[in-house]
Amino acid sequence: MSTITTNDLKNGMTLDLDDGLFQVVDFQHVKPGKGHAFVRTSLRNVRAGGTVERTFRSGEKVERATIDKREMNFLYRDGDDYVFMDNETYDQINVTPTTLGSAGNYIVDGSAVILEMYGTEIVGTDLPASVELNISETEPGLQGDRSSGGTKPATLETGLIIQVPLFISPGERVKVDTRSGEYLSRA
């Protein structure tokens, strides 16, 4: 790990602090008229997901964590675990659903996922902005409801339930936003 000063902070940088592993969401250098300069930051806990506000003295040294991003292919489910293969070393690793978080709702067999690793620990996933998934089950839209522009629940092949327009039927492929979990369009 490398040591940097708080003057070198940038958004997205990961820091290894005493409290844990944090990613810089926002920072602001403040030079008051009286007193010493300081850096006000908003930090997201990489493991727990919560956000905290923290103030550092200007020029204070902090440890920068090295996050390795590895592209992996999802192979299959082994019980509750997800089995991924590293594209470079061909090593297989088992990942628990709690480690993946909501990303597990958008991963299907053969899909490529970038896993963010701190040493041997997986601390996050980097999914594309949208994915294409099949509708496994939804109720048919009623004839009179089509003009209202309403929505209905639909179950995707991963088990995620989203709201789709009434004209979507089972077996169709739809594009889903991975950040919000909303229907975008037909694929």
- pLDDT confidence of residue 105: 86
- pLDDT confidence of residue 148: 58
- pLDDT confidence of residue 49: 76
* CATH 2.30.30.30, the chain: domain bounds: 2-64
How many CB atoms neighbour CB 150 within 10 A? Answer: 12
Q: Helix, strand, coil shares of the chain as percentages rounded to 5?
A: 10, 55, 35
Classify domain 130-186 by CATH number: 2.40.50.140
CATH H superfamily, domain 68-126: Nucleic acid-binding proteins (2.40.50.140)
Q: Which H helix or E strand runs over 99?
A: helix 97-100
- pLDDT confidence of residue 152: 85
- pLDDT confidence of residue 144: 57
- pLDDT confidence of residue 100: 83
- Which positions of the chain have pLDDT values less than 50? none
**pLDDT tens per residue, range 169-185:** 888 899 998 888 888 88
